[in-house]
Amino acid sequence: MDLTLILFIVLAITAIATAIGLLVSRNAVYAALFLVLNFATVAVFYLLLGAPFIAMAQVTVYAGAIMVLFLFVIMLLGAEKLPKGQALPWQRPLAIVLTVVLLAEAGILLFQRLSITTALSNPEAALNTEGAVRGLGAMLFSQYLLPFEVTSVLLLVAMIGVIVLTKENKA
């Protein structure tokens, strides 16, 4: 058994355990912290796959920025203790249906990958030719320029929206 496989198994168990912890914990702060751990574990997965840029971006954006804001809101509202309250009536059947769909999708993809072994052959090779970061930047500004620009416009719109919404009334 090589080192990568051992690492993968440990990480996989951590990822699943933290995800379950997120679902079952009745304290919102703990749930948020479990999610942070989960994001960090996923970042290490990216490192194992040879994508350090994505790994660091995952930590910075998700664990570092988004979850901090989550915690901020939870603490500011004092909403850390979840009430026992009843679930929405349609929630459980819908959840079951969606779970089945997700599992089926994952299973189909898994078997497809198993049959086509070439699909697994080093997806990051293209990115590593001239340094991962440089390659990623070149891809973003050539092949994926339109999605990139659309995303930036979306973010700009969100930023302006926030400014407009929080602007105090001059009246």
Partner 1 sequence: MNFALVVEWLIKGVVLVLILLGGFAYLTYYERKALARIQVRIGPNRAGPWGLLQPIADAIKLIFKEEPTPARADKLLFILAPIVTLVPALVITAVVPWGPTMTVFGHKLTLYIADINVGVLYIMSVASISVYGIVLAGWSSNNKYAMMGGLRSTAQMVSYEIALSLAFISAILLAGTMRMTDIVEAQKSIWFVLLQPVGTAIFLIATLAEVNRPPFDMPEAEQELTGGYHTEYSGMKFALLFMAEYDKMIAICLIGATLFFGGFREFWFLANTIFSVDRMPWLGPIYIFIKIVILLFGMIWVRATFPRIRYDRLMAFGWKVLLPLSLAVVFITAVGIILAEQVNPLWMWGIPVVSLLVGVFAIAMIDRELRRKDYARR
Return the residue of 7, 57, 138, 139 that touches partner 1, per CB under 8 A: 57
User: Is 2:48 a contact under the CB 8 Å cutoff?
Assistant: no
Q: Name the β-bridge partners of 81.
A: 27
State the binding string over 111-150 for partner 1 (x if CB under 8 A, else -).
--------------------xxx-----------------
State the binding string over 67-86 for partner 1 (x if CB under 8 A, else -).
-xx-xx--xx---x------
Stretch that binds partner 1, among 13-21, 53-61, 94-102, 107-115 (CB under 8 A): 53-61
Which one-letter DSSP state was computed for residue 49? T
Which parts of 3-42 interact with partner 1 (CB under 8 A)? 3, 29, 33, 36
CA nearest to 25, candidates 68, 99, 80: 80
The sign of the CA dihedral 106, 111, 116, 122 is: positive
Stretch that binds partner 1, among 7-15, 65-73, 86-94, 109-117 (CB under 8 A): 65-73
For the CA atoms of 157, 137, 61, 43, what is the dihedral angle to 10 degrees? 150
Return the residue of 21, 64, 138, 139 that touches partner 1, per CB under 8 A: 64
